[in-house]
Chains A and B, each alone.
Chain A
Amino acid sequence: MSDAVEAPPADVQAAELPRARTDWLPLALVPALALLALPLVGDVSAWVTLTLAGLAMGMMIFLMASGLTLVFGLMDIINFGHGVFISLGAYATLIVLGPLAGWASAESVWLNLALLLLCIAVAMGLTAAVGAVFERVIVRPVYGSHLKQILVTMGGLIVAEQAIHAIWGASPIPIPLPETLRGAFVFGEVVMERYRVFAVGVGLLVFVAMQLLLNRTRIGLLIRAGVENPEMVEALGYRIRRLFVSVFVAGSALAGLGGVMWAFYRQTLTAGMGMEVMVLVFIVIIVGGLGSVGGCFVGSILVALVANYVGFLAPKLALVSNILVMALVLIWRPQGLFPVARR
């Protein structure tokens, strides 16, 4: 679907009003930060290693956070249960790894990748389905009330986490990273874990897809409009409820994808693994600006890079580096890097 009205009629362009401009400043923040870190780190190869690792970690955080920013920002729903979808996505790999464990230890890149993609597909399917149920049973009755959302999704989280315990047991479960993705590429003194390269690929793909979907179709518009005034959207003839369900389901599926990526990174499954990253995820969304997919992307990278640099330069501060980033960004831009809507 393409925009109905692409540009204003010709004579409008002459009007003196400035057009909405892309805001490049936050984007410049990432390279600026990297450059600033270079002299501080000193050693170039260490700097490259840290920077690459940070970028890749940022992608993984982005994958986990993107679903939440979608749901949180567009639909104005705080899903504290998002973490459990990450866990669920992670555990879903077991469904694939059970019968196909051989593919993981095979030395073939293709088999390994196929296995990963299969895991992703299954995980996204599972989390999407659970997301649909979650939306229907848990979230729908509390649209509009953040507080109740927090409580209800928290309840959903506890129940789902217990369900994971009941199905897969309480002990941590190790999972094998496919053979060819183990270890690292070494270029002189610089090392880059292979898995991180893969994560960068997936992250970029998802980012681009989301951008296209939200900016090139009217779905994004409809959701934003629907959050502000669902009645009016219905009066315009759109079935907004159905759309909301799909957004929630998409958000859950993205969490599932993030979960798979995170699972293979951690190589151990625990039911609480999703919850553990939630504070980080929230920070990233806030830094980016609620609901901004681009902001979430930049925010993730920023947070991960800072964590790496700080971890190297002043490990004592690493504990609070995320909060530091958030505080600085909010002082600079109280609405986050890319403020989206003022609700």
Chain B
Amino acid sequence: MAETPAGTSASTFPEPLLRLEGVHTHIGPYHILHGVYLEVPAGELTMLLGRNGAGKTTTLRTIMGLWQASSGSIRFDGREIAALPTPDIARAGIAYVPESMGIFSDLTVRENIVLAARSGPVDPARLDWMLGLFPALKRFWNLPAGHLSGGQKQMLAIARAIAEPRRLLLVDEPTKGLAPVMVRSMIEAFRALKAAGETILLVEQNFHAASQLGDNVIVMDDGLVVHSGAMRDLVADKALQQRLLGLSLDAHQ
């Protein structure tokens, strides 16, 4: 394998915001992650790619403590968090948008956002900015979130993650089910967030979107990281794309 695991090659650089070393995860009898090494540098946007069932979601859930890593280390901001309970991990400054969106369908859009702002009232300026990103939420402010359309739920899930500034955003397939126009504004939104200095780890199937956004890229397969490096290198290397992801950029869009 040409690519060395991210953890070893990057060790000379300043400590990244998040670093996974040799993380194994079991779900019941299944061994899903087989020793994942990856790191997410502060202030950058890192894409996590891979086929269905590669273990991307499992990786994010393991970071969040929703599934317990059976071995390995997860360091966030210099602190070991692998053994912490989920609420403490969240309080350390990580926000998470799950694949299933995890919105509270009995609660209204407003209430969903109220809950996301843990430390008190949402800053009005931030609220305006959020609702500017996702105008649909404004329209359905008092509707139970369960009644939103698929795409609107996705927007709400992301709005919730950014209701307050966090150190790290973990986002699982945010553009799934969004109309092209929304994908565009989602890309804008992540650009804006990055510009605001947030660190983001993004799982994405839409390689086109991913290629526009990412600073770094990590590719997983079968519970292992099989590639990590700069996004522009991957964009430039069609053969690598074909090998890792089974596609070439042109086939899409």
Which chain A residues (52-82) contact chain B, with CB distance < 8 Å? none
Chain B interface residue bracket vs A: 35 or more
Contact A17 B115 (CB under 8 A): no
Contact A9 B114 (CB under 8 A): no
Q: In the assembly, what is the distance between CA of A112 and CA of B124, in Å?
A: 53
- Is B6 part of the binding interface, using a Cβ–Cβ cutoff of 8 Å? no
- Dominant SS at the A interface? loop
Of all chain A residues, the one with the shortest Cβ separation from B120 is A4
Q: In the assembly, what is the distance between CA of A122 and CA of B177, in Å?
A: 56
- Is B110 part of the binding interface, using a Cβ–Cβ cutoff of 8 Å? yes
Please name all residues of chain A whose beta carbon is closer than 8 Å to the beta carbon of B111 when the two chains form the complex. Answer: 221, 225
Distance in angstroms from B40 CB to nearest chain A CB is 18
Contact A237 B140 (CB under 8 A): no
Chain A 1-39, CB-CB to B under 8 Å as 1, else 0, gives 011110011011001010110000000000000000000
Contact B143 A236 (CB under 8 A): no
- Is A231 part of the binding interface, using a Cβ–Cβ cutoff of 8 Å? yes
Chain A 239-272, CB-CB to B under 8 Å as 1, else 0, gives 1100000000000000000000000000000000
- Is B108 part of the binding interface, using a Cβ–Cβ cutoff of 8 Å? yes
- Is A171 part of the binding interface, using a Cβ–Cβ cutoff of 8 Å? no
Please name all residues of chain A whose beta carbon is closer than 8 Å to the beta carbon of B105 when the two chains form the complex. Answer: 228
Chain A 210-246, CB-CB to B under 8 Å as 1, else 0, gives 0000000010011011001101111111111000000
Contact A236 B118 (CB under 8 A): yes
Chain B 144-173, CB-CB to A under 8 Å as 1, else 0, gives 001000000000000010000000000000
Distance in angstroms from A264 CB to nearest chain B CB is 38
Please name all residues of chain B whose beta carbon is closer than 8 Å to the beta carbon of A232 when the two chains form the complex. Answer: 98, 102-104
- Is B31 part of the binding interface, using a Cβ–Cβ cutoff of 8 Å? no
Contact A218 to B98, CB < 8 A, known contacts A5-B127, A234-B86: no
Distance in angstroms from B251 CB to nearest chain A CB is 35
Contact A234 to B87, CB < 8 A, known contacts A15-B139, A341-B106: yes
Please name all residues of chain A whose beta carbon is closer than 8 Å to the beta carbon of B66 when the two chains form the complex. Answer: 231, 234-235
Contact A9 B106 (CB under 8 A): no
| Total interface residues in chain A, CB < 8 Å | 33
Most A CB contacts (10 A, CB to CB) among B98, B107, B141 go to B141
Of all chain A residues, the one with the shortest Cβ separation from B86 is A234
Q: In the assembly, what is the distance between CA of A229 and CA of B112, in Å?
A: 12
Please name all residues of chain B whose beta carbon is closer than 8 Å to the beta carbon of A15 when the two chains form the complex. Answer: 138-139, 141
Please name all residues of chain A whose beta carbon is closer than 8 Å to the beta carbon of B139 when the two chains form the complex. Answer: 12, 15, 17
Contact A238 to B118, CB < 8 A, known contacts A12-B141, A17-B140: yes
Contact B121 A4 (CB under 8 A): yes
Contact B138 A228 (CB under 8 A): no
Chain B 66-101, CB-CB to A under 8 Å as 1, else 0, gives 100000000000000000011100110000101000
- Top 3 A-B residue pairs of the complex, sorted by shortest distance between their CB atoms: A237-B90, A232-B102, A234-B86
B→A interface (CB under 8 Å): 64, 66, 85-87, 90-91, 96, 98, 102-108, 110-118, 120-122, 124, 127-128, 131, 138-143, 146, 160
A-B contacts, 27 listed (Cβ < 8 Å): A4-B114, A5-B110, A5-B121, A8-B138, A8-B141, A11-B138, A12-B131, A12-B139, A12-B141, A17-B143, A218-B114, A218-B115, A221-B115, A224-B104, A225-B104, A233-B115, A234-B66, A234-B85, A235-B64, A235-B86, A235-B90, A236-B115, A238-B87, A238-B118, A239-B87, A240-B87, A342-B146
Q: 14 other contacts beyond A5-B110, A234-B85, A237-B118, with CB at 8 A cut-off?
A: A2-B121, A9-B124, A11-B138, A17-B139, A17-B140, A218-B114, A224-B104, A225-B112, A228-B105, A232-B98, A233-B115, A234-B66, A238-B115, A238-B118
